[in-house]
């Protein structure tokens, strides 16, 4: 399942990415108007996730969310059958690029742990590094609430 997350649900894109989904975010490409969103979704076979009823009505198989809070949005996605479990890091939380595992002997930026001590992944598109730190634990706890 590939998603295109509307500007009203931007925080949700990061959660979907952490669950292994290819979740593009409209503001990453500046595609804010409905026509651009619909064209992008159709071109790439993405399911639109939005709080905009008019946009959802025009998009094929859109997911219309009511909640403004991330917890509510996650619950609504579960209700429509989206599996929200953390996977090994697969998608970049920043840009949605694919992550690759950093070798144990590779160097990492000062903000990242030593890959020989903790698994670290790097985005092939933007170079951001990821690991299962306290943020991962916080997201896991939020996803565990049903």
Of 89, 78, 76, residue with least CA distance to 20: 89
Q: Per the domain annotation, does 95 fall within a domain?
A: no
Tens of pLDDT, residues 56-78: 999 989 999 999 999 999 999 99
Tell whether 34 is covered by a domain. yes
Q: Give the H/E segment covering residue 111.
A: none
Q: Is residue 101 in a domain?
A: no
Within-domain flag for 84: no
Q: What is the DSSP letter of 32?
A: -
The first and second tokens of residue 111, run together, are 């903000």
Residue 12 pLDDT grade (very low, low, confident, very high; cuts 50, 70, 90): very high
Burial of 83 (0-12, 13-18, 19+ CB in 10 A): exposed
Question: Which parts of 69-126 fold into alpha helices (H)?
Answer: 70-79
d(C-alpha 135, C-alpha 38), whole Å:
32
Res. 144 pLDDT band, cuts 50 70 90:
confident
Percent of the residues in the chain that have a pLDDT greater than 90, as a whole number? 84
Structural domains counted in the chain: 1
Quick one: what percent of the chain has pLDDT higher than 70?
99
Look at residue 87 in the predicted model and tell me its pLDDT: 86
* Average pLDDT, integer, range 118-122: 96
Q: How far apart are CA 99 and CA 17, in angstroms?
A: 11
146 pLDDT band, cuts 50/70/90, is low
Alpha helical stretches, state H, the chain: 10-18, 34-44, 53-58, 70-79, 134-144
pLDDT value at residue 99: 97
Q: Domain for residue 115, yes or no?
A: no
Q: Poorest-confidence range of 8-12, 22-26, 50-54, 122-126? A: 8-12
Residue 42, domain extent: 2-79
């Amino acid at each position: 399942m590939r998603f295109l997350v509307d500007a009203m649900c931007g925080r949700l894109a990061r959660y979907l990415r952490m669950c292994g989904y290819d979740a593009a975010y409209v503001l990453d490409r500046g595609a804010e108007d409905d026509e651009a969103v619909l064209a992008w979704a159709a071109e790439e076979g993405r399911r639109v996730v939005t709080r905009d009823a008019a946009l959802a009505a025009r998009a094929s198989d859109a997911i219309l969310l009511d909640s403004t809070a991330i917890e509510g949005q996650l619950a609504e996605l579960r209700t429509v059958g989206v599996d929200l479990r953390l996977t090994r890091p697969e998608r970049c939380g920043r840009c949605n690029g694919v992550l690759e595992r950093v070798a144990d002997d590779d160097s990492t930026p000062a903000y990242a742990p030593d890959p020989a001590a903790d698994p670290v992944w790097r985005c092939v598109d933007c170079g951001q590094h990821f690991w299962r730190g306290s943020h991962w634990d916080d997201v896991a706890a939020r996803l565990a609430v049903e």
